[in-house]
C-alpha cells in the first residue's frame, strides 16, 4: 500500500522543486562556499532519494533524466565554470588524444591478434584497428572476446611491428610526452579536482557501504519513510530453478516475473524482489531464507532502506558520469587518476582506488562491472598512472587473491546452470562448455584480479613489478599458500578431486595465469636487480617443485585389485598448468649466462636435497657383466614406491641442455658444479619412471586400475611430455654421457629387472630353458623390447637443440614428418599432435611446406597435408613420440609405400645429426660390450624358431640398433676424411666372436646365419640391408686413403629384389585374401540382420527394370507412335501413352504386382511437409488452420505443402504390417528405456524400410488415364455453354441436398434452366478402385491434409482433396524451380524417384475425388471455375491478382473428374483440360500485364517480323485492359517490353503445366526438352498444344473471352491491389536464395556482437543465431527469449522456425560457427558451416581462431538441401547416425 501512495505523491512534489531548480545557480553557490564537500553531500542527500527508488518498479528513463538535470548538471556547471555544453566542447577541442585505441570489448566481439607481431597472445586489436593495420596481411588469429579487456592498438610495447593502425598513427608533430594538464587553467584544474574528489569519494562510500538501514554521515535523508527493498543477491550455489521456485513462493509472483528476477540477479548480481514497509520485506526475506537453507547455505537477501538503494543507484550513475566526462579530455582523465590514487587519511593503501579494489569481493557484480570499466578508461589508459596503479595492484595482490579464493559468489551462475539445463548432451557444446570452464581467467571475469592481464603483460611494467615489488615471488608464494595439503615428507597430497575442489583449484590456477603474464616476454637486457629477483623467484619456484617431486607415489598392487582408484587428477592438473611456466623459466635462463649458471646450481642443490631423502634404506649391490662391474643400489620398481612427478629432475635436465646449447659448459666449466654431479643419482628417478611405463606396458601393473593408466597416458601426452617424458629421456642422456656406457646399461638392466637374464655367462642358452611360466616369459619379452627401445632413444634422440647439433626447426620438422608418415593429416590434426608453446604456437607454419604438400578439400571433407616423398627416408620406426598404435600404423603405411615404389621392405634407421660435444660420448653405448652381449643373446635366441622365448619385435629392435651402429660408423667415416682415426668401430666389434669361455659366434656371424632362416622371412630385407652396410663400410675403411666412398643404400641386385618382391607379394596377397574373406563374412552377417537388405542388389535391379519398362519418363522413351507427329501432352490431339503393363516389385515381400485399378494397392513411401521455400512474402501471418480456405493459392506462395518420396514401392498391406511393427517396437522401447528415435511414430512417421529415408505417409500408385477416343469435340463457345449448364445443374442439385430452410425462392429460377440431358446429375458413379486402393487414397489424402494445415486428421473434411491438389501443384512448382536453378533441362534430368513421385501425385489428384463426397468436390470445382468465368451464384471469388494460376490449373483439371463422371455426352476430358488450360493461360497473361512494371525506356529495340505480330497483339490486349481499368494502368508505347515481360513471366507456368500434363496423361516427352538448347519455347508450346504466339489464344476467341476479361478487370480487388492495397507479385518469381553471407567470418561475429536480446532491454545475447533464410538475428538458447508455441515454451530459433520456415529452419550459430538445422520441435542437427580456414577446415566452436572465409560451394550445397526440401531428411540421417543428437532438447534453442 505504501508503495502505491508514494507513487502518486512524489512526482508532483518533485515537479515544483524541479521547476524552481537551476543548475547554474546551484553551481555558482557552490563556487562561493568553503566546504564544498559538505554542500554537495547535502545536495545529494536531499535529491537522490527523491529521484531514485520510489517504487517497486524502477523507471530508468525518467530517473536518469532527473538525475541529469538535478544532480549532474550542477556538477558540470561547476566543473566548467560556464554552460557545460560549450565548456565541454572546448575541452574536447583542445584535447590531444592519446594514441591508444583503448576500445573496450563487448561480449562476443571479434578480437584479432597477429601471430607474427604480437608481443604475446593477450595483445589484441579491435576489428576497426585490425582492418587498418599491417597485420591484416600477416598470419593472424581471430577470437571472440569474453567481454572486458581493450584494444592494444597504439601500445608500442604490445607489438613487435606495426603498433599503430592508420587511425591511431601519431602525427610526427605531436610530442607524446607533453603533460596533458598544460592546456588547462589552474582554476579549472582546482575545480575539476574538487568535483572528482567528492564524486569519487561519494561513489566509493556508497558502493562499499554495507549497512542496510543507515547512510554515511552527511547523506541522511531529510525525511525518511518506511520504505524498504528486499534485495536478492546471486550466488553460485543455487540453480536457476531453485531461485525461480523460491521467488514464486516468497513474493507471490508469476513464473514469468520470477524468471525475470532470476535473470537480473544473475546478470547484475542483485535485484530487489519486493518493495514496501519493513515488515513486508522482512517477511519475504524470511520465506526465501527458509526455503533455500535446507540443502545448502541460504540465498543472500537483505532488507535495505530505499534511500540506501537510491544512493547506490546514483553512485553507479556517478561512476558512469565520471567515465563520460573524462572522455572529453586527457587532462581530466589525468586529474581523475590523481584523485583516485591519492593516499587517503589511513596512510598506505588507503587511496580511493585501493579501497575499491580491496572491497571488490564484497561488491555485487553490477557494481564491479561499472568500476572496472572506469578503471579501464582512466587508470589503464594513462601511461603514467598505469604504472602507479600497477604498483598498487601488485601491493594488494596477495590480499586480493586471497579474497578472491574465499569469495565463492562470482562463478557465472548462468553459464553453468542454464546451459546445463538447456543442453543436456551434445558433445560438441559440452566440450566447449568444459573448455570455457577450465579457461584460466573465466571465473575472474568479474573480479578485479582480472585486470592483471592489462598490467602484467606490459614488458616494462612486468619487469618493474618483478624488480621493485618482487612480483614473481609474491605470486608463487600466494600460490603455494593455497595448496595446503602435504604428506609427511612435505609433498603435496591432494584430496579426491571433486567438483568443489576443481572449482577452488581453478581459482588457484588463475595465479599461474598471472605468473604466465609476468613471464610472457623475455628480457633482452638483465640488470643485477632483475637477476637477483628472478633467482629469488626461482628459489620459491623450486620450493614449490620440491613439494611436487615424488608426489602421488604408486606401489605395484599384487594379488588383488586396488579397492579405490587413487587420486591423480589434481597433481596432473597442476603439472599441466605449470608446464608452460617451467618452459618459460628455462627460456628466461637461456637469455643470460650468469642466471643460467646460478639457476643450475640452485636446481642441483634442490635435487640433491630431494634425493637424499629417497635413498634411505636402499642397499648397495654390485653388478658385473662382460668383464665390467658397477655399484648401484638395490631397488625394484615393481616392489617399491615410484612417482611420475619429478619436476626438479626435469628442470635440471632442461637447464643441462641449455648449458650445452649456450656453450656455457665449454666456456665457463670452472663455474659449474660439475664435480658435484653424480650421474647415477641424476638418472635414478627418471629411469624408474621410464621403467614404470615399460612395466605397465608389460601388464605388470594391471591391478593398479585406471588411475595409473591415465597417468602414464598423460606422461606421454603432447600436453605434458615436453616437461615430463622428454626431459626424463634427456636426463638419461645427460647421465649416460657422463658414465661408462657399460655401467649405464647394467644399471638400466637392473632397473628393468632383466639383469639376471643377460648377466649369466651362458645367457644365450639358459634363458630358453629357465623360464617356463608363460606369463613371465611374455612379460620379460615386453620388458626387453621396451628396454631396447629406450636404448635406441638414448642414443638416437638428438633433435633437441643442445643435445644434438640441430637447428631450432629441425625438431618440429621431424615431428611433422613422423606424423605424416602415419597418414596424411589436416592442419588441425597436426596442430593437436604438436606441443604448443605459451603463445599457442607450434612453429609448424615455418616448416610445413618444406616437408609436406597441401591437398585442397572438395565440397566435403577437409584439406590434407601429404608427406613429400623425399622426406620418407627420414622415417624412424622407433620415433620416441609414437604410441604403439602410431608405430604400427606408420610401419604399415611405410611398408605399403615401399611396395608401391617397388623397393625392398627394410625400414632401416634414418641418418642422424651428430651429438653436441657434451653428449658426444653417448654413441659409445652402441659399441659397448654389454650392449653387444645383449644383441648377441637375442640373435642367438632367434636362431631357434621354437616359439615364445623371444619375439619378432625384439629381434626387429636389435636389428634396428645394429643399423644405428652401422650408420653411425658410416657417418663418422665420411666426416673424417682427413683424420683416419675413427675410434668408433662398430663393424670390428660385431665381427669379433664372443668372450671365453663359451666362444660364442660373433654378431655378424649370427646375422649371416639368420639371413637364410625360413622363420625370419619378414626380417630378411633388413638383415640383407645390414650385411650390405657392413660390406660397404669395410670397403670404406679399406679405401679411406683414397677419396672414393661408397654409398651404402639402394644397391641391391635387380634379381634379388625381384625375388624378394615376389615373396613379399605372395604374403601380401594371402593377407589380402584373408582380409577380403573377413570382410565378406562381416557383410553377410550384417545382411542377415536386415532381412530387407538381404537381396538389396536384386531389388535395385528389379527397380531399374521397372523404370526401364514402366516409367514413361526415361529418355529413351520419347518415340511417339508415329514418328513424324509432334508430341502433344494435353487436349484432344494428345499423343497416346505407350500401352504397357506396369509391373512393380514390393520391396518388402519381393512379389511382383501389376498396377491396375482393381488390383492390390501399391504405395510409395512419401514425406509430406509444409514449406515456405518459395515464399515471396514471409511477412504473411500463418493461417488459422481451422478456418483457412486453401482453395486458391495466392501468387506469393507463402505457405505450401511439399511431397517428396524416396521412390521405394511396397504393397499397401506389407507397408501396413511394417508400420504396425514399428509402432509396437516403439511402444516396447519407450517402456523399457527412454531412448528417443529420430522419427515420431505417433505422428505417423517411419523410416523407409529400404533406404531409411524419413517418411510420414504413402502415395498409392495408380494407372494412367486412358486415352479417350472421341471424335468431334465442342469448340470453346459451345463448351462454355455446356459447362455453364452443368454448373447450374450442380448448383440446384446441391441445394436440394442441403437441409430445408435455405431460401427456396431461387429454386424456382433454377427449374427454368434444365440440365443437358446427357448430364446425369443424380448418377452416383462407382469408384473404379479396389478396396485397398480406396483405403490408400484416404490415407494419403488425410496425411496431406493433416500436415499441410497442421490440424488433426479428419478424412471427412472437404478440404482434403484441395490440399492434395495444392500439394501436387506446389511440388511441381518447386521441382520446376529446382531445375532452373540447377540449369537442368525440363525432362530427363530428374531422378526416377521424383518422376515417380510426380506421376503418383498427379494421378492421385485426379482420383482423390472418388474418396471424398462428390458434391463437395463439385462445389470446389464450381468455385474454381467461378474465378475464371463469372458465376452469379458464387459470391466471393478472389480477384485475378490473388490467384496462382498453376495451382488453379491443377485444381480445376483434377477436380473436373467429379463432374465428368456424370457426363455421358461423349465430351472428352482432354477437350475440357485444353479449354481450361487456354483460359487460364490467357488469365495468367492478363495477370502479368497488370503487374508488369513500368517500361524501361532505354531498352528500345528493333524486333524481327515474327515478333512484331506478337507485339501488336499484346498492345491490343493491353489497351483493352486499359479501357477496363483506365488510369490504374500506365500507358505503354511499344509492345516489345510487354511481350518480353509476358514471355519470361509465363515460362515457369508453361513448364509447370508441361510437367503436370506429362505426368497426368503419361505422354512421352519431346527430345528437344531433354537438353538445354535454343528453340525451347516453340517446342514447349507445341507440346502443350499452344500457338507459339500466345496472344492468338485471345485474339482468335476475342468475342468469347472479352466478357471474361471484363469480369476479371472489374473485380474490385484488382483496382485496389494495383493502387497498393495488397501484395503485388510480379512475374517471373525469382527463386529464393539463402541470405548473402560475408566473405570474412569476423564480419558476422562483429554483427552478432552488437546484437542485443530484443526482450531483455539491451542485454547481450549469449547465443546470437542467424536465420539463413530471412537474415533475422535471434537470441537463441536462452530463457529471455523463450516464447510459447502450442502451449509449450520454446527457444527463439524454434519459434522463428514456425513463422519463417513453416517448421523447418536453417540457422548459423555465430559464436559456434555452426549451422543448425531444425525441424518441428523435436528434430535438429548440426551441420558443417560453409566457412573454411586456409587449411580447408571448418572451426566448429571457434576454437582454433584461424581466419575463416566463405566457401561458396559449400554454401550452395546447403542452399540446395533447402530448395530440395531435404533438410528434414538430412536431420533424420544425422540423427540415425548419431544417437546423442536425438536426446537434445532442440526446442530450447
Ligand atoms: Zn582499436
Ligand atoms: Zn587503432
Ligand atoms: Zn603482424
Ligand atoms: Zn509386399
Ligand atoms: Zn526408400
Ligand atoms: Zn533474449
Ligand atoms: Zn527466418
3-state secondary structure 1441-1491: HHCCHHHHHHHHHHHHHHHHCCECCCCCHHHHHHHHHHHHHHHHHHHHHHH
Give me ligand 7 centre to Cα 1731, in Å: 20
**Which residues are registered as beta bridge partners of 302?**
231
Average of per-residue pLDDT across 1588-1595: 87
What's the rounded mean pLDDT across residues 1772-1786?
81
Ligand nearest to the CA of 1173: 7
Residue 1688 phi/psi, 5° resolution?
Answer: -140, 140
pLDDT tops 50 at residue 814 = yes
Give the pLDDT confidence score for residue 456 in this predicted structure: 64
Ligand 5 center–CA 298 separation, angstroms: 58
Give the residue with greater pLDDT, 1506 vs 1360. Answer: 1360
For residue 1700, give the ligand nearest its CA.
7
pLDDT at 1398 over 80: yes
pTM over 0.75: yes
In this prediction, residues 968-989 reach a mean pLDDT of 79
Centre of ligand 3 to C-alpha 115, Å, is 7
Quick check: 1553 pLDDT over 70?
yes
How far is Cα 500 from Cα 450, in angstroms, rounded to an integer?
21
Neighbours of ion ligand 3 (CB under 5 A): 114, 116-117, 135, 138
Ligand nearest to the CA of 162: 3
CA separation for the pair 327, 320 (Å, rounded): 11
Distance 154 CA to ligand 2 centre (A): 6
CA of 443 to the centre of ligand 1 (A): 25
CA of 99 to the centre of ligand 4 (A): 80
Q: What is the pLDDT of residue 1073?
A: 56
Report in angstroms the alpha-carbon separations of 895 from 128, 274, 899: 53, 77, 6
Q: Identify the three-state secondary structure at position 1439.
A: coil
Q: Phi and psi (nearest 5°) for 1148?
A: -90, -45
Q: Are strands 301-305 and 620-625 parallel, antiparallel or unpaired?
A: unpaired
Whole-angstrom distance, CA of residue 1705 vs CA of residue 1770: 12
Q: Judge whether 1259 and 1166 are in contact, CB under 8 Å.
A: yes
pLDDT class of 820 with cuts at 50, 70, 90: very high
C-alpha 149 to ligand 2 mean position (Å): 15
The predicted model gives 591-610 an average pLDDT of 92
Helix (H) or strand (E) holding 1259: strand 1257-1260
Q: Does residue 14 have a pLDDT over 70?
A: no
pLDDT at 1448 (0 to 100): 94
672/914 Cα distance (integer angstroms): 24
Span from the CA of 169 to the centroid of ligand 2 (angstroms): 8
> What average pLDDT score do residues 1033-1052 get?
58
Q: Which of 317, 405, 319, 395 is nearest to 357 (CA)?
A: 395
Q: How far is the CA of 1504 from the centre of ligand 5 (A)?
A: 52
pLDDT at position 85: 86
Lowest mean pLDDT among 27-41, 97-111, 201-215, 220-234: 97-111
Least confident of 90-104, 184-198, 1372-1386: 90-104
Ligand 4 center–CA 1250 separation, angstroms? 13
Residue % of the chain over a pLDDT of 70: 83
- Say what the pLDDT of residue 1125 is: 64
Q: What is the mean pLDDT of residues 694-714?
A: 90
CA of 1065 to the centre of ligand 5 (A): 43
The CA 118 to ligand 3 mean position distance, Å, reads 7
Span from the CA of 1227 to the centroid of ligand 4 (angstroms)? 24
Cα 1189 to Cα 1434: distance, rounded to the nearest angstrom: 15
Say how many Å lie between the CA of residue 159 and the centre of ligand 3: 8
The neighbour count for residue 1588, using CB atoms within 10 Å, is 13
Q: What is the pLDDT of residue 1159?
A: 87
How many Å lie between the centroid of ligand 3 and the Cα of residue 137? 7
Please give the distance, rounded to the nearest whole angstrom, from the Cα atom of residue 1205 to the centre of ligand 5: 7
What's the CA-to-centroid distance between 733 and ligand 5, angstroms?
A: 64
DSSP string, 806-871: --HHHHHHHHHHHHHHH--B-HHHHHHHS---TTS--SHHHHHHHHEEEE---SSS--EEEE-GGG
Q: Give the closest ligand to the alpha carbon of residue 1769.
A: 5
Dihedral of the CA atoms 1285, 1287, 1288, 1290 (nearest 10)?
A: 120
Residue 909 has pLDDT above 70, yes or no: yes
Beta strand pairing call for 107-114 and 140-146 = antiparallel
Cα-to-centroid distance, 161 and ligand 3 (Å)? 6
Task: Quote the DSSP letter at residue 112.
Answer: E
Q: What's the CA gap between 968 and 980, in Å, rounded?
A: 16
pLDDT of residue 1106: 41
Handedness of CA 1090, 1092, 1093, 1094 (dihedral sign): positive
Q: How far is the CA of 643 from the centre of ligand 3 (A)?
A: 44
Ligand 4 centroid–CA 1332 distance in Å is 13
Q: Is the pLDDT of residue 1779 over 80?
A: no
Spatial contact of 1713 and 1729, defined as CB atoms under 8 Å apart: yes
- What is d(CA 477, CA 479) in angstroms, rounded to the nearest whole number? 5
Average pLDDT in the chain: 81
- pLDDT at residue 966 above 90? yes
- On the question of pLDDT at 1528 being above 80, the answer is no
CA of 87 to the centre of ligand 2 (A): 28
More confident residue, 1191 or 1497: 1191
Looking at the chain, how many residues does it have?
A: 1789
What CA–CA distance (Å, rounded) separates 1054 from 123?
Answer: 61
Distance 1372 CA to ligand 4 centre (A): 29
Ligand index nearest the alpha carbon of residue 160: 3
Q: Tell me which of 728 and 515 has the higher pLDDT.
A: 728
For residue 1060, is pLDDT > 80?
no
1661 Cα: distance to centroid of ligand 6 (angstroms): 6
Distance 1240 CA to ligand 4 centre (A): 24
User: How close is the Cα of 164 to the center of ligand 3, in Å?
Assistant: 11
Amino acid at each position: 500500500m505504501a508503495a502505491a501512495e508514494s507513487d502518486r505523491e512524489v512526482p508532483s512534489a518533485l515537479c515544483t522543486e524541479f521547476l524552481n531548480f537551476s543548475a547554474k545557480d546551484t553551481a555558482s553557490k557552490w563556487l562561493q562556499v568553503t566546504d564544498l564537500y559538505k554542500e554537495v553531500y547535502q545536495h545529494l542527500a536531499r535529491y537522490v532519494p527523491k529521484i531514485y527508488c520510489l517504487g517497486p518498479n524502477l523507471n530508468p528513463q525518467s530517473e536518469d533524466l532527473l538525475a541529469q538535470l538535478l544532480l549532474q548538471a550542477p556538477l558540470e556547471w561547476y566543473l566548467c565554470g560556464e554552460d557545460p555544453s560549450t565548456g565541454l566542447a572546448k575541452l574536447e577541442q583542445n584535447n590531444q588524444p592519446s594514441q591508444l585505441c583503448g576500445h573496450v570489448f563487448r561480449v562476443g566481439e571479434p578480437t584479432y591478434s597477429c601471430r607474427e607481431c604480437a608481443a604475446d597472445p593477450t595483445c589484441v586489436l579491435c576489428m576497426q584497428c585490425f582492418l587498418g593495420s599491417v597485420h591484416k596481411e600477416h598470419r593472424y588469429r581471430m577470437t571472440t572476446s569474453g567481454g572486458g579487456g581493450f584494444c592494444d592498438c597504439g601500445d608500442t610495447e604490445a607489438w613487435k611491428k606495426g603498433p599503430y593502425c592508420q587511425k591511431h598513427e601519431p602525427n610526427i608533430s605531436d610530442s607524446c610526452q607533453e603533460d596533458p594538464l598544460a592546456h588547462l587553467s589552474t582554476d579549472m584544474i582546482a575545480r575539476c579536482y574538487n568535483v572528482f574528489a567528492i564524486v569519487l569519494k561519494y561513489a566509493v562510500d556508497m558502493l562499499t557501504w554495507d549497512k542496510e538501514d543507515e547512510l554515511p554521515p552527511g547523506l541522511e535523508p531529510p525525511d525518511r519513510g518506511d520504505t524498504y527493498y528486499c534485495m536478492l543477491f546471486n550466488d553460485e550455489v543455487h540453480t536457476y530453478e531453485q531461485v525461480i521456485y523460491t521467488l514464486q513462493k516468497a513474493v507471490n509472483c508469476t513464473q514469468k516475473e520470477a524468471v525475470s528476477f532470476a535473470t537480473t540477479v544473475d546478470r547484475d548480481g542483485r535485484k530487489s524482489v519486493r518493495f514496501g514497509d519493513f515488515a513486508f520485506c522482512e517477511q519475504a526475506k524470511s520465506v526465501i531464507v527458509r526455503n533455500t537453507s535446507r540443502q545448502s547455505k541460504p540465498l543472500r537477501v537483505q532488507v535495505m532502506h530505499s534511500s540506501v538503494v537510491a544512493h547506490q543507484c546514483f553512485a553507479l550513475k556517478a561512476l558512469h558520469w565520471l567515465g563520460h566526462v573524462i572522455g572529453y579530455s586527457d587532462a581530466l582523465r589525468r586529474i581523475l587518476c590523481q584523485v583516485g590514487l591519492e593516499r587517503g587519511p589511513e596512510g598506505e593503501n588507503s587511496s580511493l582506488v585501493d579501497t575499491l579494489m580491496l572491497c571488490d569481493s564484497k561488491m555485487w557484480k553490477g557494481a564491479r562491472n561499472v568500476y572496472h570499466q572506469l578503471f579501464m578508461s582512466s587508470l589503464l589508459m594513462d601511461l603514467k598512472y598505469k604504472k602507479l596503479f600497477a604498483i598498487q595492484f601488485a601491493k594488494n595482490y596477495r590480499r586480493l587473491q586471497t579474497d578472491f579464493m574465499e569469495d565463492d559468489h562470482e562463478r557465472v551462475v548462468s553459464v553453468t546452470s542454464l546451459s546445463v539445463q538447456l543442453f543436456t548432451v551434445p558433445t560438441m557444446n559440452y566440450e566447449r562448455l568444459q573448455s570455457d570452464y577450465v579457461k584460466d581467467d573465466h571465473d575472474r571475469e568479474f573480479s578485479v584480479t582480472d585486470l592483471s592481464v592489462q598490467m602484467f603483460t606490459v614488458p616494462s611494467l612486468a619487469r618493474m613489478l618483478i624488480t621493485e615489488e618482487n612480483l614473481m615471488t609474491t605470486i608463487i608464494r600466494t600460490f603455494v599458500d593455497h595448496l595446503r595439503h602435504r604428506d609427511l615428507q612435505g609433498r603435496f597430497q591432494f584430496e579426491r578431486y571433486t567438483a568443489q575442489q576443481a572449482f577452488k583449484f581453478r581459482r588457484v590456477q588463475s595465479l599461474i595465469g598471472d605468473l604466465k603474464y609476468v613471464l610472457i616476454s623475455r628480457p633482452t637486457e638483465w640488470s643485477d636487480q632483475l637477476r637477483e629477483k628472478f633467482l629469488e623467484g626461482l628459489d620459491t619456484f623450486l620450493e614449490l617443485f620440491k613439494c611436487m617431486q615424488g608426489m602421488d607415489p604408486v606401489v605395484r598392487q599384487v594379488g588383488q585389485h586396488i579397492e579405490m582408484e587413487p587420486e591423480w587428477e589434481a597433481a596432473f592438473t597442476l603439472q599441466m598448468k605449470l608446464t608452460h611456466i617451467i618452459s618459460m623459466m628455462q627460456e628466461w635462463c637461456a637469455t643470460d649466462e650468469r642466471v643460467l649458471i646460478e639457476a643450475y646450481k640452485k636446481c642441483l642443490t634442490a635435487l640433491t636435497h630431494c634425493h637424499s631423502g629417497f635413498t634411505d634404506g636402499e642397499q648397495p649391490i654390485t653388478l658385473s657383466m662382460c668383464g665390467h662391474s658397477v655399484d648401484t643400489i638395490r631397488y625394484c620398481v615393481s616392489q617399491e614406491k615410484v612417482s611420475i612427478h619429478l619436476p626438479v629432475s626435469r628442470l635440471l635436465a632442461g637447464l643441462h641442455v641449455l648449458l650445452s646449447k649456450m656453450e656455457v659448459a665449454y666456456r665457463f666449466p670452472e663455474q659449474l658444479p660439475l664435480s658435484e654431479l653424480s650421474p647415477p643419482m641424476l638418472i635414478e628417478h627418471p629411469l624408474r619412471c621410464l621403467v614404470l611405463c615399460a612395466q605397465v606396458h608389460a601388464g605388470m601393473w594391471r591391478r593398479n586400475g585406471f588411475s595409473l593408466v591415465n597417468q602414464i597416458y598423460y606422461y606421454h601426452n603432447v600436453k605434458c611430455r615436453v616437461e615430463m617424458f622428454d626431459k626424463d629421456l634427456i636426463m638419461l642422456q645427460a647421465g649416460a654421457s657422463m658414465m661408462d656406457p657399460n655401467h649405464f646399461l647394467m644399471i638400466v638392466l637392473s632397473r628393468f629387472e632383466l639383469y639376471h637374464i643377460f648377466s649369466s655367462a651362458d645367457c644365450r642358452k639358459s634363458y630358453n630353458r629357465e623360464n617356463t611360466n608363460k606369463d613371465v616369459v611374455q612379460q620379460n619379452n615386453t620388458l626387453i623390447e621396451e628396454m631396447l627401445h629406450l636404448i635406441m632413444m638414448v642414443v638416437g634422440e638428438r633433435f633437441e637443440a643442445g643435445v644434438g647439433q640441430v637447428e631450432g626447426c629441425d625438431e618440429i620438422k621431424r615431428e611433422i614428418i613422423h606424423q605424416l608418415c602415419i597418414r596424411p593429416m589436416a592442419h588441425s590434426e597436426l596442430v593437436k599432435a604438436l606441443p604448443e608453446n605459451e603463445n599457442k604456437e607450434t612453429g609448424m607454419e615455418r616448416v610445413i611446406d618444406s616437408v609436406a604438400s597441401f591437398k585442397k578439400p572438395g565440397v566435403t571433407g577437409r584439406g590434407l597435408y601429404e608427406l613429400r616423398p623425399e622426406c620418407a627416408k627420414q622415417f624412424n620406426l622407433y620415433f620416441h613420440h609414437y604410441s604403439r598404435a602410431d608405430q604400427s600404423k606408420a610401419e604399415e603405411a611405410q611398408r605399403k609405400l615401399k611396395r608401391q615404389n617397388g623397393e625392398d621392405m627394410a625400414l632401416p634407421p634414418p641418418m642422424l645429426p651428430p651429438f653436441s660435444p657434451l653428449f658426444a660420448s653417448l654413441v659409445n653405448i652402441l659399441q659397448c660390450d654389454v650392449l653387444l652381449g645383449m644383441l648377441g643373446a637375442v640373435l642367438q635366441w632367434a636362431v631357434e624358431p621354437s616359439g615364445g622365448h623371444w619375439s619378432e619385435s625384439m629381434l626387429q629392435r636389435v636389428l634396428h640398433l645394429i643399423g644405428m651402429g652401422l650408420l653411425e660408423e658410416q657417418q663418422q667415416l665420411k666426416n673424417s676424411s682427413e683424420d683416419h682415426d675413427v675410434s668408433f668401430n662398430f663393424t670390428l666389434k660385431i665381427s669379433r666372436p664372443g668372450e671365453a669361455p663359451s666362444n660364442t659366434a660373433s654378431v655378424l656371424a649370427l646375422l649371416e646365419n639368420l639371413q637364410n632362416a625360413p622363420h625370419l622371412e619378414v626380417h630378411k630385407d633388413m638383415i640383407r640391408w645390414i650385411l650390405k652396410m657392413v660390406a660397404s663400410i669395410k670397403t670404406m675403411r679399406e679405401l679411406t686413403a683414397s677419396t672414393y666412398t661408397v654409398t651404402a643404400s639402394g644397391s641391391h641386385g635387380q634379381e634379388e629384389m625381384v625375388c624378394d618382391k615376389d615373396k613379399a607379394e605372395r604374403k601380401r596377397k594371402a593377407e589380402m585374401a584373408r582380409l577380403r574373406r573377413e570382410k565378406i563374412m562381416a557383410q553377410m552377417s550384417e545382411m542377415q540382420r536386415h532381412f530387407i537388405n538381404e537381396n538389396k542388389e536384386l531389388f535395385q535391379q528389379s527397380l531399374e527394370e521397372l523404370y526401364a519398362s514402366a516409367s514413361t519418363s526415361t529418355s529413351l522413351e520419347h518415340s511417339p507412335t508415329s514418328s513424324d507427329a509432334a508430341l502433344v501432352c494435353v487436349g484432344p490431339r494428345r499423343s497416346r501413352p505407350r500401352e504397357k503393363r506396369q509391373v512393380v516389385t514390393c520391396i518388402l515381400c519381393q512379389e511382383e504386382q501389376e498396377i491396375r485399378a482393381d488390383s492390390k494397392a501399391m504405395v510409395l513411401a512419401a514425406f509430406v511437409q509444409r514449406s515456405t521455400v518459395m515464399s515471396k512474402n514471409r511477412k504473411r501471418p500463418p493461417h488459422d488452420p481451422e478456418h483457412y480456405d486453401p482453395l486458391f493459392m495466392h501468387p506469393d506462395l507463402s505457405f505450401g505443402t511439399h511431397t517428396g518420396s524416396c521412390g521405394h514401392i511396397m504393397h499397401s498391406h506389407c507397408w501396413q504390417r511394417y508400420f504396425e511393427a514399428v509402432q509396437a517396437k516403439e511402444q516396447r522401447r519407450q517402456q523399457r528405456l527412454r531412448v528417443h528415435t529420430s522419427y515420431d511414430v505417433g505422428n505417423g512417421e517411419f523410416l523407409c524400410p529400404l533406404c531409411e529415408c524419413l517418411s510420414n505417409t504413402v502415395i498409392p500408385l495408380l494407372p494412367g488415364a486412358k486415352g479417350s477416343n472421341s471424335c468431334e469435340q465442342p469448340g470453346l463457345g459451345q463448351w462454355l455453354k455446356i459447362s455453364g449448364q452443368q454448373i447450374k445443374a450442380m448448383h440446384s442439385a446441391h441445394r436440394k441436398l442441403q437441409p430445408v430452410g435455405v431460401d427456396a425462392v431461387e429454386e424456382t429460377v433454377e427449374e427454368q434452366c434444365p440440365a443437358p440431358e446427357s448430364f446425369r446429375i443424380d448418377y452416383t458413379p462407382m469408384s473404379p478402385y479396389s478396396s485397398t486402393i480406396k483405403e490408400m487414397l484416404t490415407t494419403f489424402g488425410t496425411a496431406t491434409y493433416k500436415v499441410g494445415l497442421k490440424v488433426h486428421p479428419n478424412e471427412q473434411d472437404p478440404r482434403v482433396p484441395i490440399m492434395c491438389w495444392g500439394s501436387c501443384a506446389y511440388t511441381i512448382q518447386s521441382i520446376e524451380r529446382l531445375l532452373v536453378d540447377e540449369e537442368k533441362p525440363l525432362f530427363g534430368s530428374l531422378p526416377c524417384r521424383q518422376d515417380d513421385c510426380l506421376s503418383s501425385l498427379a494421378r492421385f489428384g485426379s482420383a482423390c475425388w472418388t474418396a471424398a463426397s462428390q458434391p463437395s468436390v463439385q462445389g470446389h470445382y464450381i468455385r474454381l471455375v467461378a474465378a475464371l468465368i463469372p458465376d452469379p451464384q458464387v459470391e466471393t471469388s478472389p480477384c485475378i491478382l490473388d490467384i496462382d494460376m498453376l495451382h488453379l490449373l491443377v485444381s480445376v483439371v483434377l477436380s473436373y473428374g467429379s463432374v465428368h463422371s456424370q457426363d455421358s455426352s461423349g465430351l472428352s476430358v482432354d477437350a475440357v483440360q485444353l479449354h481450361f488450360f487456354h483460359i487460364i493461360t490467357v488469365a495468367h497473361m492478363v495477370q502479368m500485364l497488370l503487374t508488369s512494371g513500368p517500361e524501361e525506356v532505354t531498352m528500345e529495340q528493333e524486333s524481327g517480323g515474327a515478333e512484331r505480330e506478337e507485339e501488336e497483339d499484346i498492345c491490343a490486349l493491353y489497351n483493352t485492359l486499359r479501357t477496363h481499368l483506365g488510369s490504374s494502368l500506365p500507358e505503354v508505347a511499344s509492345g516489345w517490353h510487354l511481350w518480353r515481360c509476358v514471355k519470361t513471366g509465363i515460362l515457369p507456368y508453361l513448364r509447370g503445366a508441361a510437367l503436370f500434363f506429362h505426368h497426368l496423361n503419361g505422354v512421352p516427352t519431346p527430345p528437344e526438352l531433354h537438353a538445354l538448347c535454343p528453340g525451347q519455347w516453340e517446342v514447349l508450346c507445341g507440346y502443350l498444344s499452344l500457338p507459339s504466339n500466345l496472344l492468338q489464344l485471345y485474339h482468335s476467341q476475342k468475342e468469347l473471352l472479352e466478357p471474361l476479361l471484363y469480369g476479371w478487370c472489374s473485380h474490385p480487388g484488382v483496382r485496389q491491389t494495383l493502387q497498393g492495397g495488397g501484395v503485388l507479385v510480379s512475374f517471373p518469381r525469382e527463386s529464393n536464395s539463402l541470405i548473402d553471407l560475408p566473405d570474412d567470418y569476423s564480419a558476422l561475429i562483429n554483427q552478432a556482437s552488437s546484437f542485443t536480446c530484443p526482450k531483455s532491454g539491451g542485454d547481450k545475447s549469449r547465443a546470437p543465431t542467424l536465420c539463413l533464410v530471412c537474415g533475422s538475428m535471434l537470441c537463441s538458447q536462452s530463457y529471455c527469449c523463450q516464447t510459447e508455441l502450442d502451449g509449450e515454451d520454446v527457444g527463439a530459433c524454434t519459434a522463428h522456425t514456425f513463422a519463417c520456415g513453416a517448421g523447418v529452419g536453417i540457422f548459423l550459430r555465430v559464436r559456434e560457427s555452426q549451422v543448425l538445422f531444425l525441424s518441428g520441435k523435436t528434430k535438429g542437427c548440426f551441420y558443417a558451416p560453409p566457412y573454411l580456414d586456409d587449411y580447408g577446415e571448418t572451426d566448429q566452436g571457434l576454437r582454433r581462431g584461424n581466419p575463416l572465409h566463405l566457401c561458396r560451394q559449400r554454401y550452395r550445397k546447403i542452399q540446395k538441401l533447402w530448395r530440395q526440401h531435404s533438410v528434414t531428411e538430412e536431420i533424420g540421417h544425422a540423427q540415425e547416425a548419431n544417437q546423442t543428437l536425438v536426446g537434445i532438447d532442440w526446442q530450447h534453442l
